Structure 1
Amino acid sequence: MSDRRLAVEAWESLFRAQHEIFERFASDFTHGPLHQGEYDVLLTVTRAPERTARLRDITSNLLISQPSVSRLVDRMVVRGLVTKCPDPNDGRGSLVTATEMGARTFREVALAHGRHIAERMSVLSNDELDQLVALTRKLREGQ
Structure 2
Amino acid sequence: MADRRLAIEAWESLFRAQHEVFEVLSNDFVGTDLSQAEYDVLLTVTRSPAMTARLRDVTANMLISQPSVSRLVDRMVGRGLVTKCNDPDDGRGALVTATDLGVRAFRAIGAAHGKRIAEQMSRLDDDELLALRALTEKLRAGVDVDEA
User: TM-score scaled by structure 1?
Assistant: 0.97
Which residue does 1:83 correspond to in 2? 83
Shift of 1:133: 0.6
Q: Deviations over 1:66-115 (max 9, x none)?
A: 11111110111111110000000111110000011111211111101011
CA distance in 2, matches of 1:108, 1:50: 20
Q: Does 1:120 align with 2:128?
A: no
Which residue does 1:59 correspond to in 2? 59
Shift of 1:5: 0.7
> Aligned AA for 1:56?
R
Q: Deviations over 1:33-78 (max 9, x none)?
A: 1101100000110111111001111111111111111111011111
Report the RMSD for the aligned CA atoms in angstroms.
1.0
Identity %: 70
Task: Give runs of ≥4 in structure 1 deviating > 3 Å.
Answer: none
> Aligned AA for 2:129?
L
CA distance in 2, matches of 1:51, 1:69: 18
> Aligned AA for 1:120?
Q
> Aligned AA for 1:11?
W
Which residue does 1:26 correspond to in 2? 26
Unaligned 5+ segments in structure 2 are 144-148
Q: Deviations over 1:5-24 (max 9, x none)?
A: 11110000000000111111
CA distance in 2, matches of 1:79, 1:124: 39
CA distance in 2, matches of 1:129, 1:106: 25
